[in-house]
Structure 1
Amino acid sequence: MSTAPDILDPETLAPEERYFNRELSWLSFNERVLAEANRASYPLLERLRFLSISGSNLDEFMMIRVAGLAGQVRSGVAEMSLDARTPGQQLAAISEKVRELGQLQQRTLDELRPLLSAQGIHIKGGDPIDPKAEDWLRQYFLDHIMPVITPQAIDPAHPFPFVANLGIGALFNLTRREDGSQLVEMVLIPSALPRFVRVPQSVLGEDATYVAIERLVVRFADLLFPGFEITGDGVFRVLRDSDIEIEEEAEDLVRYFRSAIQRRRRGQVIMLEIDENFDAEAEELLRDKLELEQAFITKTIGMLGIVGLEEVVKEDRPDLKFTPYSPRYPERVMEHDGDVFSAIHEKDIVIHHPYESFEVVVDFLRQAAVDPNVVSIKQALYRAGQQSPVINALCEAAENGKSVTAVVELKARFDEEQNLKWAGELERAGVQVIYGFIDWKTHAKISMVVRQEDGGYRTYCHFGTGNYHPVTTKIYTDLSYFTADPALGRDASKLFNFITGYVEPQKMERLAISPLDLLETLIEDIEEEIELARAGKPGTIWWKMNQITEKRVIDKLYEASQAGVQVVLICRGICCLRPGVPGLSDNITVKSIIGRFLEHSRIYAFGKGEPLPSDKAKVYISSADVMDRNLYRRVEALVPIVNATVHDQVLEQVLLANLLDTEQSWLLDGETGDYERVETGDGVEDGGFNCHQYFMTNPSLSGRGGALKDDRVPNLTLRKGAV
């Protein structure tokens, strides 16, 4: 352990030398997602899925982040980014990267299409189709599409039609054969129609042929416009500003959000995608009518709206997908005959999703709903999904006479409408529904059950790093921590009182919460490592999170590195910190893991004067990333792990396995901002290690029962040079 010979004063460096730009870092993350679509070792439909995900990610980025910057430019806001760029400068840099990413997406699709065709899955655009399929598609168009779509003339007598967010349409230049008169027509594709039409097996046998709906409209436009010659056509797609800003004077939050959701569909156009060969006159018309001030205009050779490929991914071809994985139900809970409360009462337990079943979380609430000894349930809900067993359990509990309180976060982006629906259903069942703060989002993942036991009351808590969402828990790697620790129970009660009654908690025993003291807790722990390193003791920090953008924390980590603290950050997405810069961050390493599952858990570990991993380490799990929004504008929880078995699992199994991973890992170059994939062999003996595969094949430390011996869980060892 050594301090860099020439220490740089961060204050003497220009901002762009100290920090990476947040938006460009996010685009780099999405490039890594897209890179998974090019992994030859992945099944073909899984590669197509990653391509679709990169499209979905980019859409949201444009509708939220880019829309926000464009709004700042329109309003004359000159707020500088962390790396000292104006909104206009950021938009210029983003524009170039978005175009590059779009071109890379199209090249990836071009590479996948022939590979899929060789497996009997054909994705067609305007290219020739088997005559039998052509005949079937023509009839399908007549029977199922023509009755739904509505051609609209574009002229002074007809107002320009409204194009909804994510809307796809086609423009046609027409010449009437009878008199040579000119006409422009627009056809908008209703969202109720499928994005792709699949030719049935009865037509082409075993092969599956998919044609994008907008291409069918262009292909059979002659059926729409009899008596006209089509002299030009083009397909386009529109993205609009989709953020919802909360007005402080909003008197009724529910009514405000219902109105805001409607307004979002009509937000400012932020991006227009058009065909590369889009008719020039039609393009000029769109530019004029859509009022494309500060909007991106991209021309695409290929498919618009890459996200739509998710429909093709659903093709029933298990041979072209990952082998299905069935999550384990923790053996220790089963040893208690499925009684979750009995298992927690015996010892704290961590459930590691998606490797261990989300059903444990659901059973925790289901059992509470019917247990005569349970007197109250409190639950924070950020995202719950469309089919939510959690909502059903809370409703059942209220109907059974329990005191049930649900904090429903209306500001969960793109889930606002679903959460309004759940709030209404909960209220009808007798649940007390609270909407939390106007200015802050309640992002903490916490559930609390009070049970009558032994002449008194015992509080059981669930703290999570991810949402109570039955779909994402099969994809996201998250931790569910169950405990009956009285101190954590008392803290949880104060946290709920803070959310529901604005009663700021005093003298918390274990928890740190934002926006009150979570940031200060992390800063104090970093400072302790700095002091230990300066005293000649080992200073070590291991963190796992999704993003790191907060300036104060980044600067403190630079200070730690300069003091000789060894810092390893597993940061999946945005990273504004520059690692490995001589004199500034020599002792900081940043890696990103992208693979079959989405890394989502947040873990913060500090060595406390011992090399990590260590039984003496201070370990937290959290719902919070190291971002301004999480630390200043959200209610989050930072939960210390003191139970020995859970401590070992979180630090020496979950976190260490992520550090050791080589097969899904990328390392960040602090000078260039580029990520380089770690290239290794396939076996442990030659350095290769896949953390997802490890967790899929090994039981967790805290969830195993007495029937599973220690040797069922291979010990992980921190190899020299591994991080």
Structure 2
Amino acid sequence: MSDQDNNLPVIDLQSSEYYINRELSHLQFNIRVLEQALDESHPILDRLFFLCIFSKNLDEFYEVRVANLTQQLAFAREQAGADGMHPQQVLSEVHNLCSVTVERQYEILNNTLLPALKEQDIHFLRRAEWNDEQRIWVRSYFDDNIQPLISPIGLDPSHPFPRLVNKSLNFIVALEGKDAFGRETGLAIIPAPRSLPRTVRLPDELTSGGDCFIFLSSMIHEYADELFPGMTIKGCYQFRVTRNADLDIDHDDTADLATALEDELHSRNFGEEMRLEVADNCPEELTDFLLNQFNLEQTDLYRVNGPVNLGRLIEVIGQISRPDLQYPPFTPGLPKNINFKKSIFESIRFRDTLLLHPFESFTPVVDLLREAAKDANVRAIKQTLYRTGAKSEIVNALVDAARNGKEVTVVIELRARFDEEENLYLANRLQEAGAVVVYGVVGYKTHAKMMLIVRKEGTKYKRYVHLGTGNYHAGNARAYTDYSFLTCDDSIGEDVHKVFQQLTGMGEALRIKKLFHAPFTLHKRLIQMIDREAAHAQAGKPALIRLKANGLTEPKVIRALYRASQAGAKVDLIIRGQCCLRPGIMGVSDNIRVRSIIGRFLEHTRVFYFLNDGNDEIYAASADLMERNLLRRVETAFPIEFPKLKERMKDELEIYMLDNCQAWDLQPDGTYVRAQPGANEPMIKAQAVLLEKLAASAS
């Protein structure tokens, strides 16, 4: 069955009209995050949290994605993706969309969140609102904590415009008069001390109850004139610049990756300028001056009605003791098949274990490694680390294992973006303990989440394995949804052993039985399984594909999904972030549904399900459906074969498809529409359902 057989025009699935631009799709995800700040089903402090996360996401978007587009233009390396958009066109649309969205962000802050917080007796006091006692306290705080750290910089030929740190808070000051040396500069820059918090909590005795905060910027504004004695301040305006923060390491010219990375980290704070944010009341001549200093255009300028870095507002949430204004705490569930009074090895030998964090605890993973570190029968431990955390229990256990004489090998990905410095520290700590530390494969980030424990049992060695969709980070395991899989399956253990061999040694790709791994087999096998489902549909058999990931951008995978849809297979895609596939196009993707779930927890699981003519297959993976994951990273996808665990994962995917409160459905034009329950339908929130089903308690 084909278009030619029906005398219909041939559909070119490579046509750019069938693809959404990746960067614009990324921005749509950030907009969905921002919309959570307006969702009254979230507690008010969690709504503030979403606003802050949007700000942090947008910072990173400029530091990495906009920086990449800008460099393409600067070095004449323009690359149009499957969507066919030229980088200049993408940048133009990015600026237009960001301009509208940032303005909306500050409207939400000023007109919705701050008034709602005020109703709950949480106040952010402007200078005009300070009473006499508060003003005296602020004056003392400025004298004791701020003024000793400030170095105002008057601009003149001997004091050129300073090199300002990426995303740092600064002020441009218009001056009148002459200083002690007779200089009449007219302009000065005040860099705010980076060591100080951006919001300061007033002591309780200075408030009439509740929580009161004052912005650091307000304090500096109030007393800026004292930094320029004898001169008159005509205006003082906050600003910050966002820079290119993506590291550029030439692997072909690097003998030592760790040393090269350390050198590159020093320059991250001073990359090329990408964006300028200024107070909305800053005069045009001053914004023009700043744009000229940073070599930016008017399209790179954002005038904001409030603090220039809303991401730092996240600091106040931890200072407010109001559990009634946040989601209630919960105790993650523990698997019934693991007997914590006995050996975890014994429990894993009895049955494979599947955990869905944060609804179920990450503790069994940590406890397994702790037990391995002390177990006299454990001979070797191999582990990958991508994002782990500075105070990692996982790293503590690996250090103990190495000190206890185990053969500990750790593959640390030094290039995990914005965690590079922390990973260098962890690498040094592990090496000092006696572990063998390697940095993966040059040119390929090691993103796979694997732990292999080799234990002597009788006269033979037994391999115990943990595979996951998320990082070995206990904090993330309380905020991200991720699967953990514990098994001692011989074939999987052998496969993981071979992947570690490839990471630490050299040689040809080894034959692997059960795992799919990038960059060798995962991409190819995914497309084969999608095409197999299409063949079943074409033969008149039921066909279903369900894929859950954080991003879908790889063109060949998208084309395979289009072919499956054309053949009649049902395709359900749960894609949290970027999705370049256009659903709902007649004759191309009318059998494809794409939804994004945005809720209390960050959706992070990667699951691939295929009906396969009743012999269904399901895989969990470390990889997203993106070019970088499938072609330029070391990733693993692992099968879930135990029938009860397969049924469980299928049920959990179904819950996401039934969500009618926190799901957003992708439209053919690239926009998203929030799902709404029908008049007689029950409200279904996937995360709430899973929390009630899996957690030990939700209060």
What's the TM-score, normalizing by structure 2? 0.95
Check conservation: 1:10, 1:18, Cα contact below 8 A. Answer: no
Q: 1:438 aligns with which of 427, 442, 462?
A: 442
Asked if 1:411 is matched to 2:415, the reply is yes
Q: SS of the counterpart of 2:186?
A: strand
Q: Does 1:287 align with 2:291?
A: yes
Query: Counterpart amino acid of 1:542?
Result: R
Aligned to 2:137: 136
Distance between the aligned counterparts of 2:649 and 2:350, measured in 1?
Answer: 19
Cα separation, 2, equivalents of 1:119 and 1:487: 57
- Asked if the contact 2:515–2:636 (Cα under 8 Å) also holds between the matched residues in 1, the reply is yes
Output the CA distance in 1 between the equivalents of 2:68 and 2:465: 38
Distance 1:354 1:629, change over 3 A: same
CA-to-aligned-CA distance 1:314-364 (integer Å, 9 cap, x gap): 222111111012212222213x52522111100001111001111111101
Deviates more, 1:58-67 or 1:321-330: 321-330
Structure 1 position 680, deviation (Å)? 1.6
> What residue is the counterpart of 2:537 in the other structure?
533
| Alignment correspondent of 1:234 | 237
> Is the aligned partner of 1:91 residue 2:94?
no
Shift of 1:14: 4.1
Do the aligned partners of residues 359 and 475 (structure 1) sit closer, same or farther apart at CA in structure 2, a change above 3 Å counting?
same
1:106-136: per-residue Cα shift (whole Å, max 9, x none)? 0110111111011111124455333332222
Corresponding position of 1:678: 675
Which amino acid in 2 is paired with 1:241? N
Partner of 1:36: 36
Q: What one-letter code is carried by the residue in structure 1 that aligns with 2:687?
A: H
Query: Aligned partner of 2:692: which letter?
Result: T
Residue number among 680, 692, 697 corresponding to 1:697 in the alignment: 692
Determine helix, strand or coil for the equivalent of 1:56.
Answer: helix
| Equivalences, count | 690
Deviation at 1:157, TM superposition (A): 1.6
Partner of 2:116: 115
| C-alpha contact 1:624 1:637 (8 A) present in aligned 2 | yes
* Post-superposition CA distance 1:74-107 (Å, at most 9, x none): 1122211221111111110100011111011101
Residue aligning to 2:65: 65
Task: Specify the alignment match of 1:643 in structure 2.
Answer: 642
Query: For the Cα contact (< 8 Å) 2:156–2:185, is it kept in 1?
Result: no
Cα 1:73/1:126, change in 2 over 3 Å? farther
What secondary structure, in the 3-state scheme, does the structure 2 residue paired with 1:221 have?
helix
- Determine the structure 2 residue equivalent to 1:623: 622
Contact 2:541/2:613 (8 A) holds in 1: yes
- Decide whether the 8 Å contact of 1:270 with 1:295 is kept in 2: no
Structure 2 residue aligned with 1:166: 167
Residues 292-307 of structure 1: pairs in structure 2 closer than 5 A: 292=296, 296-307=300-311
Distance 2:127 2:588 in 1: 54
CA distance in 2, matches of 1:293, 1:476: 38
Are residues 1:595 and 2:599 paired? yes
Q: What's 1:21 paired with?
A: 21
CA distance change for structure 1 residues 161 and 677 in 2, over 3 Å: closer, same or farther?
A: same
Question: Does 1:327 find its partner at 2:332?
Answer: yes
**Structure 2: runs of 5+ lacking an equivalent:** none
User: In the alignment, is the contact (CA less than 8 A) between 1:271 and 1:297 conserved in 2?
Assistant: yes
Using a 3 Å threshold, how does the CA distance of structure 1 residues 220 and 642 change in structure 2: closer, same or farther? same
The structural deviation recorded for 1:294 is: 9.8
Q: Supply the AA of the counterpart residue of 2:191.
A: L
**Matched-pair contact (CA < 8 Å) for 2:378–2:455:** yes
C-alpha distance in 2 between matches for 1:229 and 1:594:
50
Aligned mates of 1:378, 1:350 — CA distance in 2: 20
RMSD, matched Cα? 2.1
CA offset digits 1:216-272 (Å, max 9, x no partner): 211221232232221122110111101012212111101000001111111101111
- Percent identity over the alignment is 39
Match of 1:718 in 2: none
What letter corresponds to residue 213 of structure 2 in structure 1? Answer: Y
Asked if the contact 1:32/1:594 (under 8 Å) is kept, the reply is yes
In 2, are the aligned partners of 1:379 and 1:406 still within 8 Å (CA)?
yes
CA–CA distance in structure 2, aligned partners of residues 10 and 65 of structure 1: 32
- From the superposition, tell whether residues 175 and 582 of structure 1 become closer, same or farther in structure 2 (CA, over 3 Å): same
Residue 295 of structure 1 deviates from its aligned partner by: 7.7
Which residue number corresponds to residue 318 of structure 1?
323
Q: Find the counterpart in structure 2 of residue 608 from structure 1.
A: 612
- Which of 454, 461, 465 pairs up with 2:458? 454
Cα displacement (A) at 1:687: 3.2
Moved more, 96-105 or 298-307: 298-307
Whether 1:583 and 2:583 are equivalent positions in the alignment is no
Question: Does the Cα contact within 8 Å between 1:233 and 1:279 map onto a contact in 2?
Answer: no
Q: Is the 8 A contact 2:332 2:694 kept in 1?
A: no
Residue identity opposite 1:624 in structure 2: A
Q: Which moved more, 1:187-196 or 1:218-227?
A: 218-227
AA matched with 1:175: E
Per-residue deviation, 1:279: 3.0
Alignment-mate amino acid for residue 245 of structure 2: S
* C-alpha contact (below 8 Å) 1:512/1:638 kept by paired residues: yes
Shift of 1:12: 7.2
Please show how residues 568-579 of structure 1 align to structure 2 within 5 Å: 568-579=572-583
Deviation at 1:205, TM superposition (A): 3.5
Distance 1:591 1:639, change over 3 A: same
Give the residue type in structure 2 aligned to 1:689.
I
Alignment of 1:49-448 (within 5 A): 49-110=49-110, 111-125=112-126, 127-176=128-177, 181=184, 183-247=186-250, 248-292=252-296, 296-314=300-318, 315-334=320-339, 337-448=341-452
Q: What is the TM-score with the length of structure 1 in the denominator? A: 0.92
The CA distance in 1 between the partners of 2:611 and 2:258, in whole Å, is 46
Note closer, same or farther for the CA distance 1:692–1:168 as it changes in structure 2 (3 Å cut): same
- Structure 2 residue matching 1:147: 3-state secondary structure: helix
The letter of the residue matching 1:402 is: K
1:176/1:228 contact within 8 Å kept: yes
* Deviates further, 241-250 or 563-572: 241-250
